[in-house]
Structure 1
Amino acid sequence: MKKVIAILVVVLGFAFNTNAQDKMIKTPVKTVSLEQTNGEFTQKQITLSEGTYIFEIANNNVGHNVGFVLAPKADVKAHIKNAYVTAQVENNTKGNSKEVVLKKGEYVYFCPLNPTPQYTLIVE
């Protein structure tokens, strides 16, 4: 019985340490910087590789607050909420989204506050 308990403790301890190490290895986060001017983004199309991203949105003299929406092209109403800027971006400042994991596919990005057209983001 003691051998079974000792083996169980060793196995559980190994599993715990492996999980802790896995959590310490984090995928690199890349920043995508986008600029909005009055009624448009200056970047009309973006191509990225799969990965984790933060979107940095610059409000370049739009004259009022702006935001950011990212959605799958197949369902534009299915906004990716982590891609929203954490607060509306005031005139002549920058704001950031939370981390967003992007998989292969086509997306659209736009700003309903500016408002802008929908632009294409492709993940390869």
Structure 2
Amino acid sequence: MRKVIVILVIALTTVFSVNAQEKMMDKAVKTIKLEQVPGEFTQKTVTVSEGTYVFEIANKGVDHNVGFVLVEKGKDISKPENHIQTAYVTSPVETNSSQTSKPTALSKGEYVYFCPLNPTATDNTLVVE
């Protein structure tokens, strides 16, 4: 009987701990909204604080799907292993709609972002302070 109680206490503690962590993460995640029009992002530079973000990418009048790639500044953007894959939108963004990425932890530094499907400049900058 004593073992059953100990196991029950451990199980309940684990459940409450996981729920508390999930609630804290939900509050800590912020959204960075970026908009693409034909050939470019409307925001060329974005500055945010260090933290966890979801990217919301809007396709405003581009006549085909768009995407989103984020890379630490100075790394080769052509190599997928340098892409911050959690920042990819979860599916291609259709015309006049939007999609989000998974939560992405950003540490201090500079990043570049671009769209590989809607040829945009590769010098759009995300600054994390």
Is the structural similarity TM-score above 0.5?
A: yes
| Alignment of structure 1 residues 37-48 onto 2, 5 Å | 37-48=37-48
Q: In the alignment, which residue of structure 1 is the partner of 2:65?
A: 65
Q: In the alignment, which residue of structure 2 is the partner of 1:94?
A: 98
**Unpaired stretches in structure 2, ≥5 consecutive residues:** 1-5
Q: Please say if 1:108 is aligned against 2:112.
A: yes
Give the residue type in structure 2 aligned to 1:23: Q
**What is the CA deviation profile of residues 48-82 of structure 1, one whole-angstrom value per residue up to 9, with x for unaligned ones?**
10001000000000100000000101213300000
Q: Which consecutive aligned stretches of 4+ in structure 1 deviate over 4 angstroms post-superposition?
A: 15-22
Q: Report the CA distance between 1:23 and its aligned residue.
A: 2.6
Report the Cα distance in structure 2 between the residues aligned to 1:24 and 1:97, rounded to whole angstroms.
18
Cα 1:104/1:93, change in 2 over 3 Å: same
**Unpaired stretches in structure 1, ≥5 consecutive residues:** 1-8
Cα 1:113/1:22, change in 2 over 3 Å: same
Report the Cα distance in structure 2 between the residues aligned to 1:42 and 1:24, rounded to whole angstroms.
33
**What is the CA deviation profile of residues 85-118 of structure 1, one whole-angstrom value per residue up to 9, with x for unaligned ones?**
0000001111111100000011000001001002
Q: RMSD across aligned C-alpha pairs, in angstroms? A: 2.3
TM normalised by structure 1 equals 0.82
SS of corresponding position for 2:24: coil
Q: Report the CA distance between 1:122 and its aligned residue.
A: 0.6
Q: In the alignment, which residue of structure 2 is the partner of 1:26?
A: 24
Q: In the alignment, which residue of structure 2 is the partner of 1:6?
A: none
Q: In the alignment, which residue of structure 2 is the partner of 1:120?
A: 125
Paired residues in the alignment total: 117
